[in-house]
């Protein structure tokens, strides 16, 4: 199961689908190929708006039922990127009898503010960590207006 | 998309997980707490990214699909039906709106480039591309190559593409679903 991100759609996976379904060989020499299931996330292209109290955990629940009981996959792997990481993570966390593997290209992970580092005894001890913290701070300062707007003014978008 | 690339990534890279177990455990804890902390934000985000597509969805469902059963259902039901995208008759109106949209002649803050939002030049070129080069029927045919299904769930309706691998044994289960003629209802 491949779960796309925001502001994308199921089309993100068009280049990936056919190679996954074709016969391939693993690094250990095993034969492998996949059935691919690509949902359009709730609220995204062609899929309906979920109720106001719907969460990505609910999405994981119905996806798990879809995969196991409707489509008949007892076990499956999930891939998530960006927003699609949220239901994918929940699938792996809550339904690991069926979701046996999870792979993420991008988990939207917001580190805690720098002001809380001391009380939580956190030190950024590499240039990579420092760089990523700075990226986060820059995004929080000037890059997340879309997120705030959509979080707080949903009705406005519904009227556009 | 470039905004997405600029968004924060996980603090802990796989390499660090291997070399620094204490740190990786700490980060795993952070990750978990992040998901707990963010669950409300996620809920809100989910309920707010949808309005844009809700319009499209209502549009599509009314145009080419099904009448949604509005009855309150206590047990969850999942009903799979074939789904083909067909928005062709809506395209002229969309192109009309794109053509008639009035954009400023020059950017208000040229020195800020795209840090203050999409640049006017980019927006204009995208509009031109949409008007001159965009062929909806070709795009639509491309999307309809895949086996689209609409999943009518008791609470929401969503679209899923199921692409079977001819190489894989589980193919049987997919074939049997395709051959089912009655809606599937189960607890």
Cα dihedral A97/B36/A111/A136 (nearest 10): 100
Cα of B180 vs its chain's centroid, Å:
27
State mean pLDDT over B159-170: 70
- The pLDDT confidence band at residue A68, using thresholds 50, 70 and 90, is very high
Rounded-to-integer distance, Cα A75 and Cα A102, Å? 12
Residues 28 through 57 of chain A touching chain B, CB cutoff 8 Å = 31, 33-57
- Residue A108 φ then ψ, to 5°: -70, 90
Task: Count Cβ atoms below 10 Å from residue B148 Cβ, excluding itself.
Answer: 20
| Per-residue model confidence (pLDDT) at position A153 | 87
**Res. A103: pLDDT tops 90:** yes
Kind of pairing between the strands at A36-39 and B148-153: unpaired
**Which chain A residues are within 8 Å of B163, Cβ to Cβ?**
17-18, 21, 35-38
- Selected for mutation to probe chain B from A5, A49, A113, A114 (highest B CB count within 10 Å) is A49
3-state secondary structure of B81: strand
Rounded-to-integer distance, Cα B31 and Cα B28, Å? 5
Closest CB to A110: pick one of B38, B53, B162: B38
**Which chain B residues are within 8 Å of A70, Cβ to Cβ?**
78, 80, 151, 177, 184
| Per-residue model confidence (pLDDT) at position A9 | 93
State mean pLDDT over A112-120: 90
| Beta-strand runs (E) in chain A | 2-3, 24-25, 31-32, 36-39, 76-81, 99-106
Contact A73 B151 (CB under 8 A): no
Which token pair is A17?
Answer: 């689908």
Task: Count Cβ atoms below 10 Å from residue B1 Cβ, excluding itself.
Answer: 10
- Residue B177 φ then ψ, to 5°: -70, -40
For the purposes of burial, counting CB atoms within 10 Å of the CB of B91, is it exposed (0-12), middle (13-18) or buried (19 or more)? middle
3-state secondary structure of A102: strand
Rounded-to-integer distance, Cα B87 and Cα A79, Å? 29
State mean pLDDT over B103-124: 90
**Res. B51: pLDDT tops 50:** no
Contact A21 B35 (CB under 8 A): no
Q: What's the whole-number average pLDDT of chain A?
A: 91
First to last CA, chain A: 32
- Nearest Cα of chain A lies from the Cα of B172 at a distance, in angstroms, of 9
Cβ of residue B66 closer than 8 Å to a chain A Cβ: no
Contact B39 A66 (CB under 8 A): no
Task: Count Cβ atoms below 10 Å from residue B69 Cβ, excluding itself.
Answer: 12
Within 13 Å and on the Cβ side, how many CA atoms surround A72? 14
Cβ of residue B73 closer than 8 Å to a chain A Cβ: no
Q: State the count of interchain CB pairs (< 8 A) between A and B.
A: 237
Structural element, H or E, at residue B2: helix B2-6
| Per-residue model confidence (pLDDT) at position B157 | 84
State mean pLDDT over A21-50: 90
State mean pLDDT over B125-136: 94
**Listing from the earlier edge strand, what are the strands of the sheet with A76-81?**
A2-3, A76-81, A99-106
| Per-residue model confidence (pLDDT) at position B167 | 63
* Model-level ipTM above the cut of 0.85: no
- Nearest Cα of chain A lies from the Cα of B35 at a distance, in angstroms, of 8
Structural element, H or E, at residue B160: strand B157-163
Which token pair is B134?
Answer: 């965009």
Rounded-to-integer distance, Cα B155 and Cα B157, Å? 7
Percent of chain A with pLDDT over 70: 100
- Under a CB-based contact definition with an 8 Å cutoff, are residues A76 and A1 in contact? yes
Closest CB to A109: pick one of B11, B164, B170: B11
Kind of pairing between the strands at A24-25 and A31-32: antiparallel
For helices B120-132 and B91-100, the axis angle rounded to 10 degrees is 140
Q: Write b or e for each residue in B152-163: b if 16 or more Cβ atoms lie within 10 A of its Cβ, otherwise e.
A: bbbebbbbbbbb
3-state secondary structure of A2: strand
């Amino acid at each position: 199961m491949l779960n796309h991100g925001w502001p994308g759609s199921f089309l993100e996976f068009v280049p990936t689908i056919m190679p996954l379904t074709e016969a391939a060989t693993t690094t250990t020499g095993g034969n492998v190929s996949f059935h691919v299931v690509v949902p359009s996330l709730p609220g995204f292209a062609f899929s309906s708006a979920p109720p106001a109290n719907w969460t990505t955990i609910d999405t994981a629940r119905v996806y798990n039922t879809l995969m196991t009981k409707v489509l008949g996959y007892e076990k499956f792997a999930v891939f998530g990127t960006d927003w699609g990481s949220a239901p994918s993570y929940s699938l792996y966390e809550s339904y690991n009898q069926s979701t046996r593997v999870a792979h993420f290209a991008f988990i939207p992970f917001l580190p805690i503010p720098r002001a809380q580092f001391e009380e939580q005894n956190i030190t950024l001890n590499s240039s990579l960590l420092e760089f990523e913290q700075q990226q986060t701070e820059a995004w929080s300062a000037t890059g997340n207006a879309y997120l705030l707007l959509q979080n707080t003014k949903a009705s406005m978008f519904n009227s556009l | 998309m470039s905004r997405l690339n600029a968004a924060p990534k996980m603090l802990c890279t796989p390499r660090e997980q291997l070399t620094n177990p204490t740190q990786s455990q700490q980060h795993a804890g952070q990750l978990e707490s992040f998901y707990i902390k963010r669950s409300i934000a996620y809920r809100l985000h989910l309920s707010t990214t949808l309005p844009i597509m809700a319009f499209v969805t209502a549009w599509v469902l009314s145009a080419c699909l099904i009448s949604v059963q509005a009855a309150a259902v206590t047990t969850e039901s999942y009903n799979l039906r074939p789904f083909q995208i067909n928005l062709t008759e809506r395209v002229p109106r969309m192109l009309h709106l794109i053509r008639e949209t009035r954009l400023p002649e020059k950017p208000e803050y040229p020195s800020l480039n795209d840090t203050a939002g999409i640049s006017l030049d980019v927006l204009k070129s995208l509009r031109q591309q949409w008007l001159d080069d965009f062929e909806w029927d070709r795009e639509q045919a491309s999307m309809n190559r895949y086996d689209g299904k609409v999943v009518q769930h008791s609470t929401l309706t969503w679209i899923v593409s199921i692409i079977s691998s001819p190489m894989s044994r589980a193919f049987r289960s997919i074939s049997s679903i395709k051959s089912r003629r009655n809606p599937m209802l189960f607890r």
